[in-house]
Amino acid sequence: MPELKKYKMFINGEWVNSDTEKIFETLNPENNKPWAAVPEASVSDVDRAVKAAQNAFEGEWPKLLPKERARYLRMIGDKLRENAEHLGKIETIDTGKLYRETYKQANYIAEYYDYYAGLADKVEGTVLPIDKPNIQAITTRIPIGVIAAIVPWNSQMFLTATKLAPALAMGNTVVIKCSELAPATMFEFAKLIQETGIPKGVVNVISGFGEPCGKALTSHNLVEKIAFTGGPETARHIIRNSAENLSEVSLELGGKSPVAVFNDANQENAINGITAGIFGASGQSCIAGSRLYLQEGIYDEFLDKLSNRAKKIKIGAPMDPETEMGPISNYKQLEVIEKNIKLTLEQGGRLKCGGQRHSFSNEGYYFPATIIECDNHNLPVAENELFGPVLSVMKFKTEEEVVSKMNDNQYGLSSGVYTSDLARGMRVSKAIRAGITFVNTYRLISPTAPFGGIKDSGYGKEAGLESIKDYTRVKTTWFYTSDEPTLDPFSIR
């Protein structure tokens, strides 16, 4: 067996093992063989990382001119572009995501650092129209302190960028906890961070499990904000943990995103968007458009075309440039997918295509594009987040009916509408209770576009102009502008 690649954690600018020397292995989903070993952070490792971040916060970093911090962000962006090939390969080995996607993503993510570099010196304060004589009062925005950034396995580079870039731009320091399911890319990324010469302790990367590592981090008394992306159950733990340190929490959680196709939609365009939305990244995407509502006039014809397209998706090795769908990342997820499909079929769901493990390889968990017709959207595959390539399909008659059905789910992350009537596109978008609506398109991200959900999909937005302010707090400063002493020390004015 080939020797495992060994990673270390990045704490206070140094590469370290866990003080317990404990390690765990990470698997390559293509063959489910371990390929790398990473440290398992203990409570005291977490403490070391947080204290390093706190020291850095008390040091020069927040005092640098914004344009100086921006320079580091631009360097991070440049390094991402220069190393996109390598990062893409590592990400593909560790997650099973397609190299053609991970490589492009590593390049594109650089733009998040460029964007927040540009914003670093654009956040202004205010002068208050104060109601008192001889007083001038202003507000400024100050950095928060140590940020705990916790990311899931599926898009770590992207989900780190949406936290790290605004946090650094505003002068905070950060401890990133990578996912135990695919930690390697974050250590490769930490090497690039180190090469920028950023002061020690400003960025720290640790690896470990929810317990003890995640728990210790999210309840640590020096952590001031937790920026979390992951599942709703984990979010509940984190909120409970944050009762210990009273830190601010932002949550980017799961989704069960609905997509409606009206009779007048451009069908070819809709099929492309729906295919990207649910079968891209083998459906392992938080914004996966996994509930499809087809208007009755096009139902049969559209569904046939869509399933013909789905059957043609090329399943294969994730490094192969021809591959369109790679493996499911881990066995736990495969089990969730299979269990939900089984229950749905027992309850009357009708399989249109897929539904069983794919024979491409019996080492990795390859699962084909699966489409299941459901008479109601309370069947398991139409209701639960599966994080896999499974599309539930339902029929609707009217706009009012479909809006109500689209809203009838605990999540509210993304949504989609296909129609050639843009007035309707706008109406439906306004009526859907979700953080994102795509009209006649799907699966787009941009540093300029806020990303995040409502309802059980979480709160707080990442990316976009607004998000930069989420990494600051407002401070009010009062100036007394008279040369005369103040009067009556025992009265509040």
| Residues involved in catalysis | 252, 286
Between the two ends of the chain, the Cα-to-Cα distance in Å is 76
Instruction: Compose the 139-178 pattern: x for residues touching ligand NAD by CB under 6 A, - for all others.
Output: -----------xxxxxx---x-----------------x-
Q: Choose, by CB under 6 A, the member of 108, 387, 396, 418 that binds ligand NAD.
A: 387
Judge whether 328 and 365 are in contact, CB under 8 Å.
yes
Site for ligand NAD in 270-299 (CB under 6 A): 286
Over the range 192-208, which residues count as b (16 or more CB within 10 Å of their CB) and which as e? bbbebebebbbbbbbbb
Q: Choose, by CB under 6 A, the member of 51, 215, 225, 352 that binds ligand NAD.
A: 215
Judge whether 429 and 439 are in contact, CB under 8 Å.
yes
Give the nearest distance from C-beta 458 to ligand NAD in angstroms: 6
Sign of the Cα pseudo-torsion (62, 65, 70, 73, in order): negative
Does 234 sit near ligand NAD (CB under 6 A)?
yes
Does 252 sit near ligand NAD (CB under 6 A)?
yes
Which residue, chain included where needed, has tokens 């009067």? 487
Over the range 83-110, which residues count as b (16 or more CB within 10 Å of their CB) and which as e? bbeebbbbbbbbbbbbbbbbbebbbbbb
Structure token digits, residue 438: 């795509």
Does 467 sit near ligand NAD (CB under 6 A)?
no
Q: Residue 15 or residue 24: which is nearer to ligand NAD going by CB?
A: 24
Q: Residue 96 or residue 255: which is nearer to ligand NAD going by CB?
A: 255
Quote the CA–CA distance of 166 and 197 in Å, as a whole number: 19
Q: Residue 231 or residue 450: which is nearer to ligand NAD going by CB?
A: 231
Give the nearest distance from C-beta 92 to ligand NAD in angstroms: 17
Q: Give the range of 83-91, 119-127, 207-215, 370-378 binding ligand NAD by CB under 6 A.
A: 207-215
Q: Residue 146 or residue 413: which is nearer to ligand NAD going by CB?
A: 413
Q: Residue 144 or residue 253: which is nearer to ligand NAD going by CB?
A: 253
Give the nearest distance from C-beta 305 to ligand NAD in angstroms: 28
**Residue type at position 288:** A
Q: Residue 55 or residue 414: which is nearer to ligand NAD going by CB?
A: 414
Q: Residue 294 or residue 413: which is nearer to ligand NAD going by CB?
A: 413
Q: What is the DSSP string of 332-398?
A: HHHHHHHHHHHHHHHTT-EEEE--S--TT-SSSB----EEEE-SSTTSHHHHS---SSEEEEEEE--
Does 40 sit near ligand NAD (CB under 6 A)?
no
Does 254 sit near ligand NAD (CB under 6 A)?
yes
Does 45 sit near ligand NAD (CB under 6 A)?
no
Does 95 sit near ligand NAD (CB under 6 A)?
no
Over the range 313-326, which residues count as b (16 or more CB within 10 Å of their CB) and which as e? bebbbbbeeebbbb
Give the nearest distance from C-beta 241 to ligand NAD in angstroms: 6
Quote the CA–CA distance of 341 and 384 in Å, as a whole number: 11
Instruction: Give the number of residues in contact with ligand NAD, rule: CB under 6 A.
Output: 33
The residues binding ligand NAD (CB under 6 A) are 150-155, 159, 177, 179-181, 209-211, 214-215, 218, 229-231, 234, 237-238, 241, 252-255, 286, 385, 387, 413, 453
